[in-house]
Chain A
Amino acid sequence: MQIQAHETDDALLKRSAKGDERAFTELYRRHQAPLYRFAVRMTGSSWAAEEIVQDVFMMLVREPKKYDPDRGTLGAFLYGVTRNRIMKHLERTPRDFSLDDAGDACRESHPQLHEQMTPARWAELRERREQVRAAVMDLPSEFREAIVLCELEEMSYDEAARALDCPVGTIRSRLHRGRALLLAKLEMLRDTPKRANVGRG
């Protein structure tokens, strides 16, 4: 059976539950990338993210009835399941963020940038990014997900609140505390005397 581009997720899921492999594949292709990116950014590990996304879609294969269309979209549901899996992963795994792994991912995703920069500039940029990445990974998970959703994924507060199934006020507060923690941590790491040269008024 042909898959129409405008076919809704719910219709595809129904077909998938009846054994239509193409419908399932289409669903997977529609949703895997944002879920994977969210998992990578939250866990800092592409392996963990891969496992998490696989788990999420395995659940969709085995228990498609867990999704209730009356409670929200399939995308939001998958986001919620991914988030739960990420939290479980973070609970049972020590913070073993690998800078090398992340650096490789960065290099793979932006080879042209790597070629355009001088080695010194590239090294400086990379170091700063690694510091930021490490600082994000070091945040408590609830602040981290607010930062990941609103800053890295550039979601609006409303979108983030829907994704995390919490009020917008909670997002604001988590974001505020997450930003404060990040700033404090990076200031400590860099020890840059930025405040000193702010002489404008």
Chain B
Amino acid sequence: MTCEEFAIAGLDLGAPEQDGPLQRAAREHLRECPHCAALHENWLTLRQDLRGLGAETAEAETPSRVEMRLRQEFRRHKTVKTQRAAFVLGWGLAAAAVLTFAFTWMNWRMHRSANVADTPNVVHAPASNTSTAPRPSTDSDSGEVLLASNNVGDFTLLPDSMPPAPEDATIVRVQMQRAALAALGLTVNEEHAGDWIQVDLLVGDDGLPQAVRLPQTVQQSTN
């Protein structure tokens, strides 16, 4: 073993980590080299001092005030955590309630519009025999009648019907196939029997149609 090797491994003499042959070589070198022997002796003294230094603080512990502070912090943190959890839970519940309400409302709306789609397209207007009443406004692009005319003068009385008193009658706009007019006792052109037409019905106070009118702007769809 050279002095350089001893400087690296020799100071560990006696350490359990060092293997046997290395220790033997180090001991042999120690006997032969006074320089390394002095170095080793210095190291042993220093190690003793280091161990003594370690022993001075071997029983040292953190002051009890640290434990107190930590326990206080632990309690404070626990409270904050609980409050935060309650806050999050509260907002979560509120959000869930809002979502549930919104979902229910949308569902109800969709259900309702589906029901409306199933029923005939009906527009009510009070009947009047005055011709000064406003004419129905129409959307020229779509050809759709937005409001039924309340002029009863141009209605055709259904067979076996008496003209109702204007104040008791209601004009009801319905969409039906032309063939359905036959059920009201009217003659229907068979070529156009399948057409969808809008019809204004003059309904009496008994709920039965008394007269019928085909508005000028009839939406004829082929579906």
A interface list, Cβ under 8 A from B: 16, 19, 21, 24-25, 28-29, 32-33, 35-37, 40-41, 46, 49-50, 53-54, 57-58, 61-62, 105-106, 109-110, 128-129, 132-133, 136, 147, 151-154, 156-158, 176, 179-180, 182-183, 186-187, 194-195, 198-201
B47 within 8 A of A: yes
Q: How many Å lie between the Cα of A33 and that of B32 in the bound state?
A: 45
Contact A62 B77 (CB under 8 A): yes
Contact of B59 among A19, A24, A109, A187 (CB under 8 A): A109
B interface list, Cβ under 8 A from A: 7-8, 11, 16-17, 31-32, 34-35, 37-39, 41-43, 45-47, 49-63, 66-67, 69-71, 73-75, 77-78, 81
Contact of B60 among A28, A40, A58, A151 (CB under 8 A): A40
Nearest 7 CB-CB pairs, A to B? A152-B54, A195-B38, A198-B38, A151-B50, A132-B49, A36-B62, A32-B62
Q: Which residue in chain B gives the minimum CB-CB distance to A152?
A: B54
The interface residues of chain B lying within 8 Å CB-to-CB of A41 are 53-54, 57
Q: How many Å lie between the Cα of A179 and that of B61 in the bound state?
A: 27
The interface residues of chain A lying within 8 Å CB-to-CB of B57 are 37, 40-41, 105, 109, 152
Contact of B56 among A109, A136, A182 (CB under 8 A): A109
Q: Which residue in chain B gives the minimum CB-CB distance to A173?
A: B8
Contact A58 B56 (CB under 8 A): no
Give the distance to chain B from A164, nearest Cβ to Cβ, in Å: 16
Contact of B17 among A28, A133, A156 (CB under 8 A): A156
Contact A133 B71 (CB under 8 A): no
Q: How many Å lie between the Cα of A180 and that of B56 in the bound state?
A: 23
Contact B46 A198 (CB under 8 A): no
Contact of A201 among B8, B34, B42, B62 (CB under 8 A): B34
Give the distance to chain A from B6, nearest Cβ to Cβ, in Å: 11
Contact of A154 among B39, B49, B51, B69 (CB under 8 A): B51
The interface residues of chain A lying within 8 Å CB-to-CB of B39 are 183
- The residue in B11, B39, B56, B58 that gathers the most chain A C-beta atoms within 10 A of its C-beta is B56
